[in-house]
Amino acid sequence: MSDTIEIVAQDRDTYYLNMGPQHPSTHGVLRLVLHLDGERIIDADPIIGYGHRAHEKMAENRDYLQFLPNTSRIDYLSGMIYNLAYCQAIEKILAIEVPERAEYIRIIAGELNRISSHLLWLGTYLLDLGGITPFLYGFDDREKILDILDRVTGSRLTYSYGRFGGVTMDVDEVFLENTAEFIEYFEGRIPVFEELVIGNVIFQERTKGVGIFPSELIQHYALSGPSLRAMGIASDVRKDEPYSIYERFEFKVPTQQAGDCFARSLIRIEEMRQSLKIIAQALRDIPSGPVMAAKVPKRLRPPAGEYCFSVESARGRYQHFIVSDGSDVPFRHKLTTPSFVNVSTMSKVMAGNMLSDAVAILGSIDIVVPEIDR
Amino acid sequence: MIGEKLQEHAGITESSSADYAVSGYHHVHKALASELPAVAALFFENGYYLETMTCIDERASAGDEKEKKDDAEDEQTAEDPGAFRLVYQFDKAGAPERHLITTRIASGESASSIAGVFAGADWYEREVFDLYGVLFAKHPDLRRILMPDDYIGHPLRKDFSDQDPRREEMASE
């Protein structure tokens, strides 16, 4: 950072503050170089890459199936969504039919995963802001989801439940009963969170009007997910470009107008409600039958060309860009992750805010560092 | 709408529509590297956003492919074999209309940055520079993003190796 020192020497009234990489509110290793004028942020430069594990390079060195366990480790908090997204991408390219029952199981598992990701965000965000109690409430409920998924997948976080053409194991009656029970239970819990967190005056003071995304960022950065929906745009990949069987389900895309940390929080709470709605419909309609396609080729050789597949992860649009040269190893596999996009906007969003709000803003975009670095 | 404007644009050398149901793209274009900022500006003016941007290292593979398909004359391999291919993906909010723009950058040539048009391209271009070593002219702040600042080599290049003796030579320079 030799250039940094030069600037400091030129301008004595401002200074630089290094936040991270070892900082509790960065949820992993992320570093922010904050340029400050007193306590006001002039510029923020996120330094990423501390958790870079070269997933894209790994993808180029193994065949399509061998990359499957990597997928949930890219974003360990919505591992199920990422794992299934990869399967869905490959199935789409190779036109592999997925049995109905497997599609419904995927919807249930994916939406449960979305709720658990949002619950973890809720707990840790409040922890960032100084409230310890909601963390315990959030993790308590999240544990219930992890138990449900653990029963059928055998994993708590890094699921490899999907297979090209279906899922590894069928769910049993107990899984369906537990999920139904959880829906009923959690519907009663959301108002508790609303009262405990959203209604809390300290929370409102710390988040309202803080970290407003300027509207021009939408086009410049291709924002997605809760960050975009908090700015009044009802965009969701599940609605815009329905994948799997999402078009069969009735759910709303919540929006808010303010574009601040508070609005993003409201969006996530409402999204949990909508996910419950989707799961309830899936439980109602789930058919019986096989959970794996009968014929899946052993060697997967997508025709040469470029392919793009997007899903809505808990944080926004997650995209695969796969280039095949016709062999069983991808020639290029680019992962465009929502956290990467969100963090790249930070210099524009944080400018003008107070230093004490930096933590509130960073938490409100729900960053998952391994997902930024890949 | 934008389709006509793109076809008239001098920077676009080839356009075709793609099979959206399989590939996820509606249109695929090839562009001249020098005209990319102008092409990006056209997308920006028409309300598109830059969904992603990346690079493909085709420097060595073009030669291999030629051997494989000696019966079919492939245009790409007939061109310059040693090249990186930059990939830009533009899309519209709400109703997807995805355009894939590719452009070839010969080894040692630098690309034109579009960070002046789409601010979001800043980090994508830094990533391509970091992992592929492609330089972007007029980029506001071209430095490594994922690898450490003192790292030598560009890991996503196809000829990259951790044990590459050149890395040690370069380090001692």
Give the C-alpha separation, B34 to B44, whole Å.
Answer: 17
Instruction: Report residues of chain A scoring pLDDT below 50.
Output: 1-5, 7-9
pLDDT value, residue A10: 56
ipTM above 0.90, yes or no: no
Residues of chain A positioned with their CB less than 8 A from the CB of B98: 308
- Domain span at B133: 2-172
Min Cα distance B57 → chain A (Å) is 8
pTM of the model: 0.85
Residue A179 confidence (pLDDT): 92
Residue B171's pLDDT is 56
Contacts of A305 in chain B (CB under 8 A): 23
B138: CATH: 3.30.460.80
Looking at the structure of chain B, the number of domains it has is: 1
* pLDDT for position B140: 87
CB–CB contact A348 B93 (8 Å): no
Do residue A222 and residue B49 have CB atoms under 8 angstroms apart? yes
> Which residues does A195 contact at the CB level (< 8 Å), separation at least 6?
none
CA A282 to chain centre: 21
pLDDT at B68 over 90: no
Q: What is the pLDDT of residue A240?
A: 86
CB pairs under 8 A between A and B: 98
- Above pLDDT 70, what percent of chain B? 79
Contact (CB<8Å) A306/B65? no
* Token pair listed for B149: 């600042």
pLDDT at B63 over 60: no
Distance from CA of A326 to the nearest CA of B (A): 10
Amino acid A371: pLDDT: 87
CATH of domain A54-336: 1.10.645.10
Instruction: Inform me whether the C-beta atom of residue A347 falls under 8 Å from chain B C-beta atoms.
Output: no
The pLDDT, as a whole number, for residue A87 is 92
